């Protein structure tokens, strides 16, 4: 074949996207291998626009990390502690409930509760925490417990995962967050989180949650020891599970924060990597309605730029997410709603305040916000 007839690897991907065809693993690799970030971004942006148009979502939410005591001690996690170690903490049920009450009073629609796998905290306390939050914030959506916490509670109580999920649903849990997925590849899990549930178990918990009527989200922790093949494999496993159940609401890539972890020698992902992961995810996860840019991990400025690389959601006001704070992420611990509205508008999108299930709370179209847009008249 002469050089002029060699096709560049992105052309067939662009053709497939234009024909509405599903992308293959080879296409996924071509996206990650491409040096033409803007071309990859344009493709993802056009795909996103076909799904969500000019809307960009955000939610008023609050994270509550009830304990950092954890049996797993994953290499990438600077949050976890052994029981009794300096810096270890466990909030009382009343402290969690107070934080939830305060959040609801400030307009939070979603309360995101996760913690470590505590070796001695009884399940009865976990349950009281949820019933307490439900009573204190009756109209807030409770998004609680990663798949690995669910497996831990089920083990402690001698219950099946399905029964545990049903019990938590009765107590007041409305959906599961996507944490703990990390990267599904056993090769990497063996190094970075050997004590944690496997990728297969994570997927099984989410399939079970969907079966019992709980929606969930999905994450991928990237920018540590994984290869691009392993990223594509992770995304494909999510796509396959979503084909089966349809229960995932959104995908959230989590940019590895190395600073205070046992993998601090690693540089962490670059900005180009952050944008490429979002764009590739948007294109490969054709059965996911939403892709979130989680500003806590990337900073609000890059999260804003992510709206041009496949993301349609900036997640939330967040408030006090300790997992990233302890890992050295220094992008702030909360952002006011007015700031999310401002950055979305400044990107030329319509800010849509959503609830936890993507129901529209308010469209902040031009003219009904009070914030100033410097440089725009
Ligand atoms: O489970 C831990 C990851 C997760 C680090 O579901 C780290 O809507 C980066 O899951 N660098 C917690 N990531 C955050 C999370 C999340 C956030 C926002 C929205 C949703 C959702 C989920 O963060 C953990 C773990 O996978 N993590 N340490 C670190 N050093």
- pLDDT of res. 320: 67
pLDDT at 330 over 60: yes
Starting at the edge strand that comes first in sequence, how are the strands of the sheet with 248-255 ordered?
61-65, 110-114, 141-144, 175-176, 215-222, 248-255, 290-291
Q: Which residue has the tokens 């067939």?
A: 12
Q: Is 84 left (phi over 0), alpha (psi -120 to 50) or beta?
A: left
Q: How far is the C-alpha of 1 from the C-alpha of 92, rounded, in Å?
A: 69
Q: Is the CB of 148 under 6 A from ligand 1?
A: no
pLDDT at site 144: 98
Paired strand residues for 25: none
Q: Region 191-220: what's the mean pLDDT?
A: 98
The DSSP letter of residue 3 is G
| Residue 346: band (very low, low, confident or very high) from pLDDT cuts 50, 70, 90 | very high
Angstrom distance (rounded) from CA 252 to CA 82? 28
pLDDT(374) > 50 = no
Assess whether pLDDT exceeds 50 at residue 369.
no
**Residues 75-112: tens digit of each pLDDT:** 999 999 999 999 999 999 999 999 999 999 999 999 99
* pLDDT at residue 377 greater than cutoff 80: no
Q: How far is the CA of 219 from the centre of ligand 1 (A)?
A: 7
CA 255 to ligand 1 center in whole angstroms: 9
Q: Is the model's pLDDT at 331 over the cut of 80? A: no
Confirm or reject CATH 3.40.50.10860 for domain 8-352, answering yes or no: no
Q: Which of 182, 221, 316 to mutate to test the pocket of ligand 1 (most atoms within 8 A of CB)?
A: 221
Q: Return phi, psi of residue 160, to 5°.
A: -75, 160
pLDDT at 319 exceeding the cut of 90: no
Ligand 1 center from residue 85 Cα (angstroms): 22
User: Which pLDDT does position 373 carry in this prediction?
Assistant: 46
Would the CB of 253 count as within 6 Å of ligand 1? no
- pLDDT value for 325: 67
Q: What is the pLDDT of residue 5?
A: 63
Distance (Å, rounded) from C-alpha 145 to C-alpha 165? Answer: 10
At 318, is the secondary structure helix, strand, or coil?
coil
**What's the confidence (pLDDT) of residue 3?**
55
Q: Whose CA is nearest to atom 9 of ligand 1?
A: 256
Q: pLDDT-based confidence at 375, cuts 50/70/90? A: very low
- Split at pLDDT 50, 70, 90, the class of 371 is very low
Is the distance from the beta carbon of residue 230 to the nearest atom of ligand 1 less than 6 Å?
A: no
Residue nearest atom 23 in ligand 1 by C-alpha distance:
179
Predicted pLDDT at 4: 55
Atom of ligand 1 nearest to the CA of 216: 6
**Quick one: pLDDT at residue 334?**
84
User: Does the structure show a pLDDT above 80 at 220?
Assistant: yes
Q: Is the confidence at residue 37, as pLDDT, over 70?
A: yes
Band of pLDDT at residue 367, cut at 50, 70 and 90: low
| Atom of ligand 1 lying closest to residue 297 CA | 9
Q: Is the CB of 68 under 6 A from ligand 1?
A: no
Map residue 115 onto helix, strand or coil.
Answer: coil
Q: Is 310 in the pocket of ligand 1 (CB under 6 A)?
A: no
pTM score, whole prediction: 0.95
pLDDT above 70: residue 372: no
Q: What is the mean pLDDT of the chain?
A: 93
Distance CA 262, CA 4 (A): 48
**If residue 201 lies in a helix (H) or strand (E), which one and from where to where?**
helix 199-211
Distance of CA 56 to the CA centre of its chain: 16
């Amino acid at each position: 074949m002469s050089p002029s007839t060699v096709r560049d690897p992105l052309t067939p991907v662009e053709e497939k996207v234009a024909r509405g065809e599903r992308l293959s693993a080879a296409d996924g690799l071509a996206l990650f291998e491409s040096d033409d970030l803007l071309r990859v971004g344009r493709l993802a942006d056009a795909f996103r626009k076909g799904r969500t148009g000019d809307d960009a979502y955000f939610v008023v939410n609050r994270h509550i990390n009830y304990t950092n005591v954890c049996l797993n001690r994953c290499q990438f996690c600077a949050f976890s502690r052994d029981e009794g170690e300096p810096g270890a903490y466990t909030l009382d049920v009343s402290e969690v409930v107070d934080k939830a009450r305060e959040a609801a009073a400030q307009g939070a629609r979603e309360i995101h509760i996760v913690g470590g796998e505590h070796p001695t905290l009884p399940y009865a306390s976990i349950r009281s925490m949820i019933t307490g939050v439900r009573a204190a914030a009756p109209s807030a959506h409770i998004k609680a417990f990663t798949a690995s916490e669910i497996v831990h509670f089920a083990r402690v109580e001698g219950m099946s995962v399905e029964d545990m999920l049903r019990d938590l649903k009765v107590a007041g849990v409305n959906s599961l967050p996507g944490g703990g997925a990390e990267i599904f590849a056993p090769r990497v899990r063996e190094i970075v989180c050997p004590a944690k549930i496997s990728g297969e178990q994570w997927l099984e918990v989410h399939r079970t949650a969907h079966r019992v009527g709980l929606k969930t989200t999905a994450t991928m922790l990237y920018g540590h020891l994984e290869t691009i093949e392993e990223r594509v494999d992770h995304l494909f496993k999510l796509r396959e599970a979503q084909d089966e159940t349809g229960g995932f609401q959104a995908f959230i890539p989590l940019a590895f924060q190395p600073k205070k972890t046992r993998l601090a020698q690693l540089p962490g992902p670059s900005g180009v990597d952050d944008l490429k992961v979002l764009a590739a995810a948007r294109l490969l996860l054709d059965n996911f309605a939403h892709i979130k840019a989680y500003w806590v991990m990337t900073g609000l400025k890059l999260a804003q730029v992510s709206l041009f690389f496949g993301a349609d959601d900036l997640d939330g006001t967040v408030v006090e997410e300790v997992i990233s704070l302890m890992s050295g992420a220094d992008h702030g611990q909360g952002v006011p709603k007015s700031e999310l509205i401002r950055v979305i508008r400044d990107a030329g999108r319509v800010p849509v305040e959503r609830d936890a299930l993507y129901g529209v709370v308010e469209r902040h179209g031009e003219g009904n916000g009070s914030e100033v847009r410097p440089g725009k008249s």
